[in-house]
Structure formats: structure tokens, C-alpha cells
Amino acid sequence: MDSKISQLKEILDQSKYTVALCGSGMMEEGEVLAIKRQERAYEIEEIYGYSSEELFTSAFYNTRPELFFKFYKEEIILHAPKDTSSGPALAAMEKAGRLKCIITSNVYELSQRAGCKNVINLHGSIYDNKCPRCKRQYPLEYIVKAKKVPICENCNVPVRPMISLFGEMIDSQKMTKATVEIDKADTLMLLGTNIDSEVFHQYIKYFKGNRMVIIHQNEHFKDRMADLVIIDHPKNVLPKLGY
């Protein structure tokens, strides 16, 4: 492991533009499984009578808001991952000039809470909630404290969590910004994800740099395409870089 840490530090020190892609493994190291993972998906269907792919949709938000928000509050907001040492390590890398941008599929602002500045939240954030009519913003606490459905005080309609629900397109501006960042990178770090990721594979094809690093708990057959692979949680690797 020590030799791989040294190799990783050398790659980052030589890089002029490093971009990190943070996937569901960053939640798993915080002791939370993604809602699509088989073990959790089974539990959700047992509890609610519907799959997460049905519950976490605009159709349920619009037609069955009580069940949508019950699921959203209990399984997304209150089931949030714990902060890990990955966040401060990434913030230290950014401050040292070794990390230019983080692109994440998570909705918990894990990196921002640790101090990272240049972050693209592809799927939005649980902290961003607004009325679909008047656009009034509401804090996360308003969603959590609502007895059933959080209602806009101006328009009397359900407040909309500004996150990408299943079946919805990712915001085009975020997609464009992400592809531009990846295109500029000479080093791409995949943290808690892999090359064949459902979310990131379409972005990775824009990478034209010369070094790809994967730090992930789960081995994947496409790992061989990377220049450096470390099979571990990022929280056990990144702090050892010493930035």
C-alpha cells in the first residue's frame, strides 16, 4: 500500500489539472448503501410496497406526495451518510492546488461540508428546496419538520426538492460544466466508482488526459484500463497523501 500511496502522490504532484469523480462508494464508506443496491432496494419495497425506482420519481411527487415525502425524509434525508476523512483530505488537496474540481453523484454535499469549493453536484442537493411556482427557497429543516407534505407558504403547493429524481434528465448546464472540466483534466480520479459506472461512464469518454486513478472498495474488470488502482475506501487512502 505504501508504494501505491507514493505513486499516487507523485501522479498528483506532477498533474496540472486533476479532477475527481465521486460516486456511491463515497456514501458507502459513510455507512450508507445507495437506494438501488439490491440489499437496500429489497428492504425499501418491503416497507413501502413500491420499489425505489417507483417512489423516487416526479410521478409520485405529483400524484402521491405524502408517500413520496415519507420515503424521501426517511430513506434519503434521515438516512444520510456519515462524514468521513475523505472530505477534509479532498479539501486539503484543493487548497494545495492538487485538485481543481470535484464532480459528484451524491446529493449530500459531503465535499462542500468539508470545505471544498469547486464542486459540481450532478444530481442536485438535499439542501436546495424551492416552490415550483413562486421559486421561494426553503431550508432542509422545513422539509424535515413538515408533518406530512412540506407546503409552500405562498402558493399552497408541495415544495420541490431540487434533486434529480429517477427518470429525469440531469441539468444540461451541469452536464456541460462537468464535461468541460473532464476535458481539461490531465489526471482523472475515480473515487468510490468505476469506469463502467451508470452515472459517470458517459462523462469519462471526454477524458483525454494521460493518468487515470481508481480508488474503490470493489474490484471491477475494467480497472485494468487505469494507470493506478487502489482497492480500498478513499477515506483510508486520501488522508495518507499528507496535503
Strand order in the sheet with 119-121: 119-121, 101-104, 18-22, 187-191, 211-216, 228-231
233 has catalytic annotation: no
Catalytic residue among 79, 123, 201, 233: 123
3-state secondary structure of 4: helix
**Which cell numbers in the block locate residue 136?**
421561494
Q: Among all chains, which residue has been given the C-alpha cell 469547486? A: 118
Strands (E), the chain: 18-22, 101-104, 119-121, 124-130, 137-138, 160-163, 187-191, 211-216, 228-231
* CA–CA dist 243, 236 (Å, integer): 14
Taking the C-alpha atoms of residue 49 and residue 181, their distance in angstroms, rounded to an integer, is 41
Which residue from 229, 187, 228, 177 is spatially nearest to 207, judged by alpha carbons?
Answer: 187
Beta carbons of 160 and 133 less than 8 angstroms apart: no
**What's the CA gap between 20 and 119, in Å, rounded?**
10
Phi, psi of 102 (to 5 degrees): -115, 130
Q: Which residues are catalytic?
A: 123
